Structure 1
Amino acid sequence: MGSLEQEVARRRTFAIISHPDAGKTTLTEKLLLLGGAIRTAGAVKARKAKKFATSDWMELEKQRGISITSSVMQFEYNGYKINILDTPGHQDFSEDTYRTLMAVDSVVMVLDAAKGVEPQTIKLFKVCRDRGIPIFTFINKLDRQGKEPLELFEEIEDVLGIESCPVNYPIGMGPTFRGVYDRIRKEVELYDEKKEQTILPAEGPEEWRPALEGLTDAVTLDRLEEDLLLIEEAGNRFDLEKVKTGQQTPVFFGSAISGFGVPSFLKHFLQLAPPPSGRDSSAGRIEPTDANFSGFIFKIQANMNPAHRDRVAFLRICSGKFEKGMETWLDRTGKPVKLAQPQQFFADSREMVEEAYPGDIVGIYDPGVYQIGDALCGTKETFHFGKLPTFPPEHFAKVRAKTALKQKHFLKGIHQLAQEGAIQIYRTEHFGNYILGAVGRLQFDVFVFRMEGEYNVELDIEPLSFRLARWLVDREIPRDALRSTTNLVVFDAHDRPVILFENEFALNWFQQKNPEIRLAETAM
């Protein structure tokens, strides 16, 4: 191993985000294939052949063919240590994605060439922009007919409000797609359905035109020459400083399903993407090269190994060197914690790790002491990196075990799954009924599935009409103000009083009638 500075410099930790079906998981797999981390791609579409996407390890994900939970995959490539966080694309699981974005140094945004910027992409992009995370755009499915490249650039700039700068440019599209022209390396990368890579050096049209004649028609070549000239004269100049602050996105074209354009994208990305950088904390700026170890928990997952019923906390290392068995201090409690069983991941497979460095994601055994957002420090002088984002639930359901004999398992299951952050649990004041809250309805399906599969508890679940949750800032329950069928008082996992409202109208009515009562969208 090299010095701390060398190890930090060679790390790239990034998330892949997209709208569902844009090709995010397929791109992830092609990157893993390039790195030699897997031998065959288990495309989601090949479910009938029992080949599942490597990063979609949960049984329900395999059945539905969608990513439900963020996966962590780590591998070496050309001297770089790469940490990929593959995130759920479906909006019902966006809360997991938002937290994951707090643990990365850059983001790869996958767009479908035919659909452009889609609603879920906008939401995820906003989180990246608010944090100033560098964003790299991969426009996918060029082997199918899609929108014109110039139209896509305009859409990125108008809808997302970020400058775009194409690193490569497509030669044709759909049936006329023949490859891309790399504007930085000044070379043509030819598309071959047999997946044989052919690269032709070409400084300008006087070189690439003769090379492409016979491979495509004159109309395609004329369009390519016109578009490249227009981009050179009127397009945005590539500016690495703007890229680093999230103001400009380098754009790449390719086809993840065929693997075309993925190797050249990865090479460019590794050179342009930033290594782990400093983070603000309650003790000031913490640089990754600081000798004092620190990190934070951004995800907790129960029962990754059903045979052991274990809980794993995902730790993003922020500074210093991590060593197996090291003693750390938990900032929230001030108590020492020994990190005795650290693991590095490849989706659901894992191996023990002896040491790790800033940018790496390490799984640590959680005996029930960690919470999402917790900071771990190498000395007793602890600090924290601030709260991770939480989102008020928009869907609610009453839940109970079908069989009273399973009550003990039921309580263990709902509390453990709630600690992962995907759902929130509340209990009613008088009867002690349990109510689930989630950002998306599909979370309830996942909850029911996992309670049955992991805790052997069948559930009765009854959807409720409430749509908004508001915490009582002063914690005093206004009895007279709550005599209404459009709201309900419940208590969260920390016994803080919460009012559930049926809709915005009910909330506004309550606030107009009770201006002295202070409400908050998230727990204080």
Structure 2
Amino acid sequence: MTEPLTRPAPAGSIAAQALRRRTFAVISHPDAGKSTLTEALALHAEVIDSAGAVHGKAGRKGVTSDWMEMERARGISITSAVLQFSYRDHVINLLDTPGHGDFSEDTYRVLAAVDAAVMLLDASKGLEAQTLKLFDVCRSRGIPVLTFVNKWDVPGREALELLDEVEQTIGLRPMPVTWPVGIAGDLRGVVECATGELRRYARTAGGATKGEVEVLTPEQAAEQEPLYTETVLDELELLREIGAGFDEDDYLAGTATPVLFGAARHGVGVGRLLDALVDLAPAPAPRPDAEGTPRELDTPLSGLVFKVQAGMDRSHRDRTAFLRINSGRFERGMVLTHAGTGRPFATKYAQAVFGQQRTTLEEAFPGDIVGLVNAGALRPGDTLYADEPVQFPAIPSFAPEHFAVVRAKDAGRYKQFRRGISQLDSEGVIQVLRSDRRGDQAPVLAAVGPLQFEVVTARLADEFGAPVSLEQLNYTVARLTDEAGALVLNKESETEVLQRSVDGALLAVFVNKWRMETIRRKHEGVMMEPLLAGAVDR
């Protein structure tokens, strides 16, 4: 397989450093094995000695990227995580995303910070609803997608059937890079489509350690593996006849997807996937600002805050903002400007992040993810820059569909309650809505999915010592309105106007779309606009 075509750059220059970066996210439907794959990639890069638990296995430690107590207890990822490590003289910035649809807003923010994505498919289920939504986000952002068909170690569908589903459903032409030997559930190895080499894997217990890989030439494979000559050669010939060969331009243009097969739980095909990401995934390129003008890589430092997370270090209770470097060279200690407020922001506490682990970071380049500690003034979507002003496109909020009034159970813990609500609001964990009618002691929480309420409840109790009660509201639809609209809508039944804390926007909430449309017809000209501008609505 050939390396991507790149222009040579002077050693040590910003452009040369950017060419060494690969920044990508893993996206999938829940239970496709995303966190297991994330852990396996780190294991095969030899940055950890043993992988964490395969979800559902009692008595094992949680995966490196799943560090919240709720994630380990439930066996699902509920927040995105960053793993930065070196591999083959490249710097890998791997972003693990929540698979559950209730946390799709967090995933959307992550996709604003990557240059490529790995679409993980369950061999028995193929494309699922959440995967389709996330792919739509990738398409809208022009993010190239590489596909990994996982769980080939358990019974599932035929490989050709899965490829056909990808092409027919999302319009991506599959380009197999590797091909499985044996049906799903009877995996004998993986063949390199370009050379015919067969890789056979020595599986380890639960995939906890890296197994040995035996590479056979086509001649050796034909002698030692009956299925190689009985089925694989015919399937590879069929792929050639239908024009399924790899084309780098089509991949980068987002019209085709390289496909690899494996079983992350046992480490099968994971190392090959890691190599494919280094060889095929694009390096950072100039990113457009809010006006659509590309910010060249060698211009002064600029970056986008795509995530804010508190509580990663329980001993310090600090708050970390994750900054994707878009241009320039970052140096710890430099003073940047907050594009939204014009205020200075010092970067004395800059860190490289690997799941929950953090180390002091002295410099970074385009594509890198920098953790900025004690970033109380930063929110997702903020732009930071040095010298030359720039503003990158904001990250829009999703339209909430679930609403609940939250109250502190213990009046004596009200101060902690307020601080916790403010913290989670600023992180983007939940949207906080307020009104004079309800008062400050009973704000309304607005969520994309109900699991967000569980996260809020757990974190308020655990991190802030403020147990809360929730009262579910029957609203299901939210629309933007203005002050004139609020005067009219607050007089209607089965609707209410609340103010969003983060930006002061007025949100009209309705029990259902039918009620909203009835009120719209009754009050023509009243502002009731969708919340999203650029995001993919649920």
CA distance, structure 1, for counterparts of residue 220 and residue 57 of structure 2: 41
Long gaps (5+) in structure 1: none
Preserved CA contact (<8 Å) 1:477 1:497: no
Preserved CA contact (<8 Å) 1:93 1:443: yes
Aligned to 1:259: 267
* Pairing 1:402–2:418 present: no
> What pairs with 1:487-498 in structure 2 (closer than 5 Å)?
487-493=495-501, 494-498=503-507
Offset of 1:437 from its aligned partner? Answer: 0.3
* Pairing 1:444–2:456 present: no
CA distance, structure 2, for counterparts of residue 260 and residue 495 of structure 1: 50
Aligned to 1:417: 424
* Pairing 1:385–2:392 present: yes
* Pairing 1:463–2:472 present: yes
Number of residue pairs the alignment of both structures matches: 514
Preserved CA contact (<8 Å) 2:123 2:184: no
* Pairing 1:271–2:287 present: no
Provide closer, same or farther for how the CA distance between residues 193 and 325 of structure 1 changes in structure 2, counting only shifts above 3 A.
closer
* Pairing 1:428–2:440 present: no
Structure 1 counterpart SS, 2:380: coil
* Pairing 1:96–2:103 present: no
Preserved CA contact (<8 Å) 1:57 1:347: yes
Deviation string, structure 1 residues 320-356 (Cα, Å, up to 9, x no partner): 0000110111111122222111111111110111111
Preserved CA contact (<8 Å) 1:142 1:174: yes
CA distance, structure 2, for counterparts of residue 258 and residue 51 of structure 1: 17
Aligned to 1:123: 133
Structure 1 residues 383-392 or 97-106, which shifts more? 383-392
Aligned to 1:315: 323
Correspondence for 1:198 among 185, 208, 214: 214
* Pairing 1:188–2:208 present: no
Preserved CA contact (<8 Å) 1:344 1:352: yes
Deviation string, structure 1 residues 88-123 (Cα, Å, up to 9, x no partner): 101111110011001000001110111111111001
| Structure 2 counterpart of 1:42, one-letter code | G
> What pairs with 1:50-65 in structure 2 (closer than 5 Å)?
50-65=60-75
Correspondence for 1:299 among 285, 296, 307: 307
What is the TM-score normalised by the length of structure 1?
0.94
Structure 2 counterpart SS, 1:8: helix
Aligned to 1:153: 163
Aligned to 1:210: 222
CA distance, structure 1, for counterparts of residue 488 and residue 478 of structure 2: 19
Structure 2 counterpart SS, 1:519: coil
Structure 1 residues 118-127 or 262-271, which shifts more? 262-271
Percent identical pairs in the alignment equals 43
Preserved CA contact (<8 Å) 1:8 1:288: no
| Structure 1 counterpart of 2:414, one-letter code | Q
Aligned to 1:41: 51
Aligned to 2:248: 240
Structure 1 residues 5-14 or 222-231, which shifts more? 222-231
Preserved CA contact (<8 Å) 1:171 1:221: no
CA distance, structure 1, for counterparts of residue 425 and residue 57 of structure 2: 30
CA distance, structure 2, for counterparts of residue 34 and residue 520 of structure 1: 48
Offset of 1:46 from its aligned partner? Answer: 5.9
CA distance, structure 2, for counterparts of residue 496 and residue 318 of structure 1: 29
Structure 1 counterpart SS, 2:333: coil
Provide closer, same or farther for how the CA distance between residues 297 and 239 of structure 1 changes in structure 2, counting only shifts above 3 A.
same
Offset of 1:438 from its aligned partner? Answer: 0.4
Offset of 1:73 from its aligned partner? Answer: 0.4
Preserved CA contact (<8 Å) 1:176 1:216: no
Provide closer, same or farther for how the CA distance between residues 478 and 41 of structure 1 changes in structure 2, counting only shifts above 3 A.
closer
Correspondence for 1:508 among 502, 511, 517: 517
Structure 2 counterpart SS, 1:276: coil
What is the TM-score normalised by the length of structure 2?
0.92
* Pairing 1:66–2:86 present: no
Preserved CA contact (<8 Å) 1:373 1:386: yes
| Structure 1 counterpart of 2:216, one-letter code | L
CA distance, structure 2, for counterparts of residue 179 and residue 448 of structure 1: 46
Preserved CA contact (<8 Å) 1:144 1:173: no
Offset of 1:247 from its aligned partner? Answer: 1.1
Deviation string, structure 1 residues 230-249 (Cα, Å, up to 9, x no partner): 11111333211111121110
| Structure 2 counterpart of 1:38, one-letter code | I
* Pairing 1:166–2:166 present: no
CA distance, structure 1, for counterparts of residue 438 and residue 273 of structure 2: 57
* Pairing 1:140–2:146 present: no
Preserved CA contact (<8 Å) 2:304 2:323: yes
Aligned to 2:207: none
Offset of 1:479 from its aligned partner? Answer: 3.3
Preserved CA contact (<8 Å) 2:289 2:295: no
Deviation string, structure 1 residues 459-493 (Cα, Å, up to 9, x no partner): 11111100111111x33244344433311121110
Deviation string, structure 1 residues 275-318 (Cα, Å, up to 9, x no partner): 11111114654455323110010001122222222111110000
CA distance, structure 2, for counterparts of residue 496 and residue 128 of structure 1: 28
Preserved CA contact (<8 Å) 1:105 1:274: yes
Correspondence for 2:88 among 49, 68, 78: 78
| Structure 2 counterpart of 1:404, one-letter code | A
Offset of 1:430 from its aligned partner? Answer: 2.1
CA distance, structure 1, for counterparts of residue 135 and residue 486 of structure 2: 40
Aligned to 2:5: none
Preserved CA contact (<8 Å) 1:278 1:285: no
Structure 1 counterpart SS, 2:314: coil
